[in-house]
């Protein structure tokens, strides 16, 4: 298990020169100061598909150096090309990342057998724990419970970021892999339900904006305070809904700008949020003095 609790899939701030590392430092401090248990860079929320290879490398290097072991830094390296993913994994490992997040192949997709071969090849290439990221709504490909059981046989494939949206499927997966793979919610609206099935926390988008609330939700659950965890999950739902009213990370990037971080706009083909007023309204209910 790479971490337990709240992991933030952090946005990447851009300016006219490229990555805005001054703001990136501020965003990392915001997470470190508010109880986040792991930092995930270059996940979908970080817009890696619109970044150059050099930018991706610099982001991992900066995060690893700046965090300096305080919490794990997990690097997103998944693509729809196995060889490219292997190269990205090797680069992340050489820089000092603590783990890898690997989304399923998208667009060209593959069979369940192809998934196993894809993940095994990446896991064979480095000595780092690997998190399988399943998000069928974006990739068009769903990892089935029996496939997770096969993946769990590899010593480096240790966890799942599950965003399939199907609690029955997640329950089946949990019953099969048990303690062989840690399961993290990849859906902010399902943090508590997935932890109730044995999940170890969340890789979160909303925690970019309210890291303290997401961290407290996870901590309360693991401390046995179910009522507080429930209250916090319910409290987050209106903000979660507006943050996924447009394609992510459009709304969360707008939210971070509204919170005073100079994050810039998403890169094309993503555009500015059209729901800034509603985002601000919900942020004001959760963030003091905004």
Return the pLDDT at 289. 87
- Rounded CA-CA distance 76/63 in Å is 12
Domain-located, residue 245: no
- Rounded CA-CA distance 50/37 in Å is 27
Domain of 92? 5-225
Return the pLDDT at 147. 98
- Rounded CA-CA distance 171/212 in Å is 28
Could you give the residue numbers annotated as active site? 133, 161
The secondary structure of residue 144, as a DSSP letter, is -
Domain-located, residue 125: yes
Return the pLDDT at 275. 96
Mean pLDDT per 10-residue interval, the chain, length 290 residues: 96 96 98 98 96 97 98 97 98 98 94 97 98 96 98 98 96 96 98 97 98 98 98 98 96 98 96 97 94
How many distinct structural domains can be found in the chain?
1
Domain-located, residue 285: no
CA of residue 196 relative to chain centroid, distance: 19
101 CB burial (10 A radius; 0-12, 13-18, 19+): buried
CATH of the domain at 149: 3.20.20.70
Per the confidence metrics, is the pTM higher than 0.75?
yes
Return the pLDDT at 109. 87
Domain-located, residue 17: yes
């Amino acid at each position: 298990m790479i971490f337990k609790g709240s992991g933030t899939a952090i946005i990447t701030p851009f300016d006219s020169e490229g990555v805005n590392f001054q703001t990136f430092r501020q965003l990392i401090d915001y997470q470190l100061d508010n109880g986040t248990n792991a930092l995930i860079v270059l996940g979908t929320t970080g817009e890696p598909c619109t970044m150059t290879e050099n930018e991706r490398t610099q982001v991992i290097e900066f995060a690893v150096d700046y965090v300096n072991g305080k919490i794990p830094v997990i690097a997103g390296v998944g693509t729809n090309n196995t060889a490219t993913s292997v190269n990205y994994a090797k680069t992340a490992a050489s820089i000092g990342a603590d783990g890898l997040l690997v989304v399923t192949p998208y667009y060209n997709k593959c069979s369940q057998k192809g998934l196993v071969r894809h993940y095994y090849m990446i896991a064979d290439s480095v000595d780092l724990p690997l998190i399988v990221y399943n998000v069928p709504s974006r990739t068009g490909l769903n990892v089935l419970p029996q496939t997770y059981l096969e993946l769990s046989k590899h010593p480096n494939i240790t966890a799942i970021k599950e965003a399939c949206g199907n609690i029955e499927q997640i329950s089946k997966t949990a019953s099969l892999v048990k303690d062989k793979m840690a399961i993290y919610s990849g859906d902010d609206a399902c943090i508590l339900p997935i932890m109730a099935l044995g999940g170890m926390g969340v890789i979160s988008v909303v925690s970019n904006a309210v890291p303290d609330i997401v961290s407290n939700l996870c901590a309360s659950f693991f401390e046995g305070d179910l009522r507080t965890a429930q209250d916090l999950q319910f409290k987050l739902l209106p903000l979660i809904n507006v943050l996924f009213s447009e394609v992510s990370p459009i709304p969360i990037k707008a939210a971070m700008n509204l919170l005073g971080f100079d994050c810039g706009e998403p890169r094309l083909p993503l555009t500015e949020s059209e729901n800034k007023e509603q985002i601000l309204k919900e942020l004001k209910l959760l963030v003091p003095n905004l």
